[in-house]
Amino acid sequence: MTKNRSFFSTIALLLVGGSLTAQNPVVQTNYTPDPAPMVYKGRVYMYTGDDIPGFDFYYMTKWRVYSSADMVNWTDHGVPIALESFTWARDRAWAAQCVERNGKFYWYICAQTINNDMAIGVAVADSPTGPFKDAIGKPLISTGSWSNIDPTAYVDNDGQAYLYWGNGSLSYVKLNKDMISYSGDIVEVPQTLETFGGVRRPRGGQNNQNAQAAPAVPNKDMFVEGPWFYKRNGTYYQMFAGMDKGKETLSYSISNGPMGPWKYQGRIMADQPTNSFTNHGGIIDFKGNSYLFYHTGLLKGGGSYGRSSAIETFKYNSDGTIPPVTMTKEGVQPVGTLNPYNRVEAETIAWSEKCTTSEMGKTGVYVSGIRTGGYIKVRSVDFGKTSPKSFSAAVAAGLDGGILEVRIDSVGGTRLATVKIPRTGGWKTWKTLTENVVTPVTGVRDVYLVFKGENITAGRELFNFDYWMFNK
């Protein structure tokens, strides 16, 4: 019996071990399509949609925000805006991008209107994580067209801001300094073999944006959707979802000016086993590295309508062109360390299993749905030269509670502390529990917060988890 049990636990550990090196998809607690990264004051903010797998189309209702200072530990900031935030929006909370100007944050979103077409709106906030509110109470771009999706904004060095967007066709306007209105006409960008690698066949059914997605010139590219507009070293870039073999690529064009003319450069990512028809990308530079954000359908239970953000690093060629990027499971390496002597939100996660996140007024976002056999991995935690003395965790349990084991290097690694979590009086009745560190630890290590239950009905939720820290 004992022999069998240890055989099965070894197999279980090996199976879990497969995901221990994984960093893609970046978020495992929710489905996070259409990643739009923004660098602000030493952190990367990643704005995403919220897929609901099980549907047969992109029926999304809200938008999410995550942030990281090291590119591997991502803090969940919850759902600052949803369809309800825009009186004119009734469905399809699709791709969005947030940009900062003069300390204000403008989150350009697109959604289906009450007239059943698509329109672009803008929400504004004083912080990158909100609270956001609809800035104008009506769509910013609304022309009765299904092409009004996937906004991307950029503020140029001379102060002129541009908003590009499109599906099938690519358009732009010049935004006014207030970022919530524009001047001049909407301009549609010409599409040719030279500008975007090809042209798209006329679209069929307007209820399916991708119904007739195929290049007019076989084996060539074309602009499908998802533009990502930015400037780097004097060159303007327009990355976009192109098309190859009936599936989206990430392709790009460049220009010497913000309004073109665009020159097609080729594909950055194509023919990858993404398990998703779409791939929506974004690019940033952060702490000396360049990063490509995109989405796949590879999170467990995912697919074309259950998509999740992923990140790869790449190096621009010396002439500013972008090399082909191959998707990986390992993703990117940490570019910073995490201080465990400050309060760390439990929803700061490099990788997790068997848990999700929830949100409530005073507590904000917390880890919920915790089940035995699950864990949270936090990478690159810097304990310094002297070992901590104790570990504290803020938790709440409506039923039996469970055990939180703190380990290093792996799920079964050396145990630093064990916190026995009793019934606290409710799922929102928080208690901060402190236990001694039983094995000294120093230096930079990966921390595993491992969830266990004793005599718990299989699959039952153990406790909620708000934050943790080590004490010197």
- Distance, in Å, from the CA atom of 210 to the CA atom of 280, rounded to the nearest integer, reads 13
Among 238, 278, 296, 352, interactor with ligand FUB by CB under 6 A: 278
Residues 423-442 that bind ligand FUB (CB under 6 A): none
Residues 355-374 that bind ligand FUB (CB under 6 A): none
Number of residues that bind ligand FUB (CB under 6 A): 12
Is the Cβ of residue 97 or residue 357 nearer to ligand FUB in the bound state? 97
- Distance, in Å, from the CA atom of 312 to the CA atom of 333, rounded to the nearest integer, reads 9
Q: Which residue of the set 70, 76, 221, 225 is catalytic? A: 225
281 part of the interface to ligand FUB, by CB under 6 A: no
Tell me how crowded residue 454 is: count the other CB atoms within 10 A of its CB.
Answer: 11
Which are the contacts of 131, defined by CB distance < 8 A and separation ≥ 6?
A: 80, 125
Is the Cβ of residue 146 or residue 427 nearer to ligand FUB in the bound state? 146
Least distance from ligand FUB to the Cβ atom of residue 279, Å: 7
119 part of the interface to ligand FUB, by CB under 6 A: no
User: Does residue 208 contact residue 183 with C-beta atoms inside 8 Å?
Assistant: no
Residues 8-47 that bind ligand FUB (CB under 6 A): 33-34
Tell me how crowded residue 146 is: count the other CB atoms within 10 A of its CB.
Answer: 16
- Distance, in Å, from the CA atom of 126 to the CA atom of 131, rounded to the nearest integer, reads 8
Residues 191-230 that bind ligand FUB (CB under 6 A): 225-226
49 part of the interface to ligand FUB, by CB under 6 A: yes
Is the torsion defined by CA of 186, 111, 92, 49 positive or negative? positive
Is the Cβ of residue 277 or residue 314 nearer to ligand FUB in the bound state? 277
- Element spanning 201, H or E: none
293 part of the interface to ligand FUB, by CB under 6 A: no
Is the Cβ of residue 280 or residue 452 nearer to ligand FUB in the bound state? 280
* CA distances for 123 relative to 93, 146, 424, angstroms: 13, 21, 39
Least distance from ligand FUB to the Cβ atom of residue 92, Å: 7
Tell me how crowded residue 100 is: count the other CB atoms within 10 A of its CB.
Answer: 17
Least distance from ligand FUB to the Cβ atom of residue 423, Å: 41
Integer distance in angstroms from the first to the last C-alpha of the chain? 42
Is the Cβ of residue 8 or residue 55 nearer to ligand FUB in the bound state? 55
Least distance from ligand FUB to the Cβ atom of residue 337, Å: 33
User: Does residue 37 contact residue 13 with C-beta atoms inside 8 Å?
Assistant: no
User: Does residue 37 contact residue 282 with C-beta atoms inside 8 Å?
Assistant: yes
Is the Cβ of residue 151 or residue 334 nearer to ligand FUB in the bound state? 151
Is the Cβ of residue 151 or residue 401 nearer to ligand FUB in the bound state? 151
x-marked contacts with ligand FUB along 143-182 as a string, rule CB under 6 A: ------xx--------------------------------
Catalytic, 285? Answer no
User: Does residue 162 contact residue 170 with C-beta atoms inside 8 Å?
Assistant: no
Among 31, 47, 58, 223, interactor with ligand FUB by CB under 6 A: 58
Least distance from ligand FUB to the Cβ atom of residue 223, Å: 12
Tokens of 463: 């406790």
Tokens of 19: 């995901």
- Distance, in Å, from the CA atom of 24 to the CA atom of 331, rounded to the nearest integer, reads 5
Least distance from ligand FUB to the Cβ atom of residue 188, Å: 18
280 part of the interface to ligand FUB, by CB under 6 A: yes
Tell me how crowded residue 316 is: count the other CB atoms within 10 A of its CB.
Answer: 16
- Element spanning 9, H or E: helix 2-17
Least distance from ligand FUB to the Cβ atom of residue 168, Å: 12
Is the Cβ of residue 150 or residue 221 nearer to ligand FUB in the bound state? 150
Q: Which residue of the set 34, 134, 312, 405 is catalytic? A: 34
Catalytic, 225? Answer yes
Is the Cβ of residue 171 or residue 372 nearer to ligand FUB in the bound state? 171
Least distance from ligand FUB to the Cβ atom of residue 78, Å: 19
* CA distances for 141 relative to 89, 138, 150, 391, angstroms: 13, 9, 11, 51
The backbone torsions φ and ψ at residue 319, rounded to the nearest 5 degrees and listed phi first, read -90, 10
User: Does residue 82 contact residue 61 with C-beta atoms inside 8 Å?
Assistant: yes
Tell me how crowded residue 351 is: count the other CB atoms within 10 A of its CB.
Answer: 25
Least distance from ligand FUB to the Cβ atom of residue 278, Å: 4
Among 27, 69, 95, 222, interactor with ligand FUB by CB under 6 A: 95
Using CB under 6 A as the criterion, which residues of the chain lie in contact with ligand FUB when the complex forms? 33-34, 49, 58, 94-95, 149-150, 225-226, 278, 280
Residues annotated as catalytic (active site), given as ranges: 34, 225
